[in-house]
Amino acid sequence: MLNLPVKIENVKIVENGSKYFVNLTLQQIESPDALKGMVMLVFSDVPESEESDENTLKQKNKVFPENKKN
């Protein structure tokens, strides 16, 4: 069984009226034995851009069609 990392890009985070974007990477740890089976979660900053905001909105509308603006 392969334990490939899972990557999620352009996750929008809103905090106190400010927004920013991150990429997430999740990877199962195989060694050392003391950490085997645990998961590592890495947040990477992404420069804010209109494209990132647009992509987030498109992804949200795929999951929640009721969010679409008419």
Q: What is the DSSP letter of 20?
A: E
Q: 2-31 pLDDT, tens per residue?
A: 789 999 999 998 999 998 899 999 999 999
Percent share of the chain, pLDDT over 70: 66
Of residues 30 and 48, more confidently modeled: 30
What is the average pLDDT score of the chain? 79
Task: Please measure the distance between the N-terminal and C-terminal CA atoms of the chain and give it in whole angstroms.
Answer: 45
Contact, 19 vs 48, CB < 8 A? yes
